A = this chain, B = another copy of it.
């Protein structure tokens, strides 16, 4: 079986305006790496139907799983569910089981279950609900697209419901060697080592600390013995981890 892959679509003006720094993509990336489903692309688009439809359509053809965050709340700028229905060419309406989850939640919490809140029970036809243990309003999976909330702890709770249902691949292992040299000094031998291990991915990430250049050399792969062997060679070349 080929290794499954994933893409992320972050929906919302607040990230693109610089008002909020994304944390969902960062969280998802780490979880997927552990689950053996590498994230191969991420996109961030504004609350605009055509942009959401175009991104979902492109990404779902390209990877095994697409995860979205944002735009499923009760306000006028929450348009993700409608955009997903358009992308899949299906209808959308208030669904009884989703409505019942919300009605029970608001009855328990003593809050009014008003028309705006009922909007969160609008689910594209044929979708499977994703549990929201925090505020009840469900996410949903439509084909290979998993639609989740933008509030980080709700996003994380929904992801915890979805991930165990997906077939993972071999977890991607990684080891890092930090060296107190600029990239330019290690580039040639590091590139030669990468060429010797074509099944591994090797990356070099420079940084500046207290005015001095340093580099993180990262070796990634699914075969732990190969990663260990390559790291031993790297340590022999450049020092101790």
Interface of A toward B, CB cutoff 8 Å: 12-23, 25-33, 38-47, 51, 73-77, 111-112, 114-117, 119-120, 134-135, 150-151, 153-154, 172, 174, 182-188, 190-191, 194-195, 201-208, 213, 218, 220
Chain B residues with CB below 8 A from A76, complex form = 187, 190-191, 194-195, 202
State the oligomeric state as a number of copies: 2
Can you offer 28 A-B residue contacts whose CB atoms are under 8 A? A15-B29, A17-B33, A17-B39, A17-B172, A18-B26, A18-B28, A18-B29, A18-B30, A18-B31, A19-B205, A40-B46, A41-B46, A73-B187, A74-B184, A75-B190, A76-B187, A76-B190, A76-B191, A76-B195, A112-B185, A114-B185, A115-B188, A116-B183, A116-B187, A117-B187, A120-B184, A151-B206, A151-B207
Q: Is the CB of B38 within 8 A of A16?
A: yes
Cα of A14 to Cα of B25 in the assembled complex, Å:
13
